């Protein structure tokens, strides 16, 4: 009986052994395929790493190490002209980004338009293409949104290119620039990060006469000549049809399909040989009568000086603008644009924390700024006064910097002929 059962039992066992052999063959085949794929992937990855190590490509730019001496040259030429974060690209490794922002609260005496405002949100983007070629840019959102105006204001926010240009280092003392440039006048037009000036608001003189922030499309250069730093551009002119009794600010074309009918020249020279001291002048000249029957020749000049030593900082500026053909312009438009606009201010600050050793990495500046502005300093015969700003402003307050990147400001502005205002500001730059 057992002999008869043996084939019956042995047959399934043989069948199972055959199935196991087949499965082992399949598994082995798959393992071999995976090993081949792994070798190909490893080889491809190694080839890519070798190619990257050989070419050292970052963002499409050849990543050969930069010349340290040329990096220092860039720093010496460019960094004195821009705020610290805006100038970071000149010493960066390839790509650079940063930014700054300001959040403002204002309370006006005798008015009912007190407000909170996301005043500015800014990003910097730049790239060092090579030792001698650099791209730099600033993009700004003002007043939080470009959406419909709020219930308390009739104007929307904006998104703007504040600057965007290509720089080329021609020699160790000269660099060329082209694109959307900041007009090199005054203190805050090129250096307008909130950590670079003391009060919460920019000076009226550098808003209505030097229409900061003032950018234009242009070409030119900058450099160093002995103890003097200089900048010179040819740029698109102002749009004089938008000038009015309160100043020239409306004439900025903002690189937005700017008229090229009038080309202007602007330049700046500063004495910079003494550490902590800057003293110089700047000038702009060009017709502003694009699309107007009048030429509206416009000349703006400023004299400026700044001294920083230990806990003390002092700066002062005088600006004057002269505009031609205002009599005809006013008679045609009904405006009261002045032939001459004048303004000046003096500002001083002292770091109170310098009196103690407990806050070595922080500053708390008490500051004063006195400003006198007259946007109708001289009117053409027959032009009635009215609508201009002829006033003095005394601002005093505190500027607290717990670290380099953050600033808190609180100040009070006594306006002689207008509404006093209290301002509080949170600012940052990185």
CA–CA separation, 2 vs 278, rounded Å?
Answer: 115
Query: What residue ranges do the domains of the chain occupy?
Result: 1-55, 71-429
Helices (H), 127-232: 205-208
Q: Is the pLDDT of residue 176 over 70?
A: yes
pLDDT in tens, 205-259: 999 999 999 999 999 999 999 999 999 999 999 999 999 999 999 999 999 999 9
pLDDT in tens, 4-24: 433 444 445 554 455 456 666
Does residue 295 contact residue 323 with C-beta atoms inside 8 Å?
A: no
CA–CA separation, 116 vs 177, rounded Å?
Answer: 38
HSE of 395 in the Cβ direction (CA atoms, 13 Å)?
26
CA–CA separation, 410 vs 122, rounded Å?
Answer: 22
Which residues neighbour 354 within 8 Å (Cβ) at sequence distance 6 or greater? Answer: 310, 311, 363
| 374-385 average pLDDT score | 95
DSSP annotation of 430 = -
CATH number of 71-429: 2.40.160.10
Helices (H), 144-196: none
pLDDT in tens, 76-109: 898 888 999 999 999 998 899 999 999 999 999 9
DSSP string, 109-146: TT-S--EEEEEEEEEEEEEE-SSSEEEEEEEEEETT-S
Check residue 17 and give its pLDDT. 57
| 148-169 average pLDDT score | 84
Q: Is the pLDDT of residue 2 over 80?
A: no
Can you give the pTM of this predicted structure?
0.84
Q: Is the pLDDT of residue 58 over 70?
A: no
């Amino acid at each position: 009986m057992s002999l008869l059962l043996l084939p019956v039992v042995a047959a399934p066992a043989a069948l199972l052994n055959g199935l196991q052999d087949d499965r082992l063959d399949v598994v082995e085949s798959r393992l071999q395929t995976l090993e081949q794929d792994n070798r190909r992937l490893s080889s491809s990855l190694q080839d890519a790493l070798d190619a990257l190590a050989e070419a050292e490509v970052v963002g499409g730019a050849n990543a050969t190490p930069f010349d340290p001496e040329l990096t220092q040259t860039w720093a010496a030429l460019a960094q004195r002209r821009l705020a610290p974060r805006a100038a970071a690209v000149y010493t960066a490794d390839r790509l650079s980004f940063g930014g700054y922002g300001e959040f403002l609260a204002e309370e006006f005496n005798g008015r009912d338009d007190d407000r909170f405002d996301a005043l500015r949100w800014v990003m910097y983007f730049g790239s060092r293409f090579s030792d001698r070629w650099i791209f730099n840019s600033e993009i700004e959102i003002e007043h939080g949104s470009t959406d419909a105006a709020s219930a308390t204001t009739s104007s929307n926010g904006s998104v703007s290119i504040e600057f965007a240009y290509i720089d080329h280092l021609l020699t160790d003392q000269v660099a060329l620039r082209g694109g959307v440039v900041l007009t090199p006048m005054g203190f805050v037009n090129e250096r307008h990060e909130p950590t670079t000036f003391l009060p919460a608001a920019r000076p009226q003189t550098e808003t209505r006469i030097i229409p900061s922030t003032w950018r234009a499309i242009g070409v030119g250069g900058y450099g160093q000549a002995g103890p003097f730093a200089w900048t010179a551009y040819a740029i698109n002119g102002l749009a004089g049809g938008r000038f009015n009794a309160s100043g020239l600010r409306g004439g900025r074309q903002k690189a937005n399909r700017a008229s090229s009918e009038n080309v202007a020249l602007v330049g700046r020279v500063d004495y910079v040989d003494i550490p902590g001291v800057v003293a110089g002048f700047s000038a702009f000249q060009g017709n502003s009568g694009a699309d107007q029957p009048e030429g509206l020749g416009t000349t703006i000049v400023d004299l400026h000086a700044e001294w920083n030593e230990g806990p003390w900082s002092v700066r002062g500026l005088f600006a004057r603008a002269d505009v031609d053909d205002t009599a005809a312009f006013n008679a045609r438009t009904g405006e009261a644009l002045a032939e001459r606009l004048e303004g000046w201010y003096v500002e001083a600050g002292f770091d109170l924390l310098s009196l103690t050793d407990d806050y070595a990495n922080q500053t708390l500046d008490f500051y004063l700024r006195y400003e006198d502005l007259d946007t109708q300093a001289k009117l053409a015969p027959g032009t009635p006064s009215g609508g201009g700003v002829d006033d003095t402003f005394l601002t005093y307050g505190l500027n607290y910097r717990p670290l380099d990147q953050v600033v808190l400001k609180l100040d009070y502005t006594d306006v002689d002929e207008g509404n006093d205002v209290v301002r509080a500001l949170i600012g940052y730059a990185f």
